[in-house]
Amino acid sequence: MPDDEPAGVAGAEDVDSEGARVTPSPAGANPSPRMIVGLVLFMVVLAAFLAWMLTIGGETDAQRNLRELDARASPAPQGDPPMPASAGRVIYDAQCIACHGRGAVGGPGGPALVAKRYTPPRWEDQDLANVIYGGRGSMPAFSDRLSLEELAAVVAYIRWEQGLPVPGTQVRESPA
């Protein structure tokens, strides 16, 4: 076979001339400066892309939903709330402010109730009333401390702080 002999001879020459090493491909042995520049540029672009992914670009729909839900439902209301929210504020300032903060903006002991997540339809008046009456987690139950009327007033006050209209808030005793 004429093809086999020259190939075998060439292979043997490679090993002999380079010592124990088989001659690598020309590109691997001596990468051109253009290749190195290209590689560096590629890595810089890749790093920039990853950084962008980690900040705004990588925000998933679920993360954005959460951020929007945690944001204030509307700008802080000015002045005094109408009845019954004004009565609710007095109760809130006595019973809730220590954990949920002044104006229900949140505190070390409880979440911000002015957040969009606590507005309807996710949280209807009765949903708020149920939690306030029944308690949740480290939050105490207020069923033995608030009358139904006072409970409704507190719910109305939370609505006012959320920037929502304060109708005659209707709540019933928690089924819980």
Find the binder of ligand HEC among 95, 106, 116, 163 (CB under 6 A).
Answer: 95
Site for ligand HEC in 110-149 (CB under 6 A): 110-111, 113, 128, 131-132, 136-140, 142
DSSP 71: S
CB 73, CB 162: distance < 8 Å? yes
Find the binder of ligand HEC among 31, 57, 58, 109 (CB under 6 A).
Answer: 109
CA angle, 32 then 35 then 39, to 5°: 150
Give residue number: closest CB to ligand HEC: 137
CA 150 to each of CA 84, 103, 104, 142, 153: distance values in angstroms, whole numbers, following the listed order? 9, 17, 17, 10, 5
Does 159 engage in binding with ligand HEC (CB under 6 A)?
A: no
Does 94 engage in binding with ligand HEC (CB under 6 A)?
A: no
Q: State how far the Cα of 146 lies from the Cα of 153, in Å rounded to an integer.
A: 10
Q: How far is the CB of 170 from ligand HEC (least distance, A)?
A: 17
Residues in contact with ligand HEC by CB under 6 A are 92, 95-96, 98-100, 109-111, 113, 128, 131-132, 136-140, 142, 154
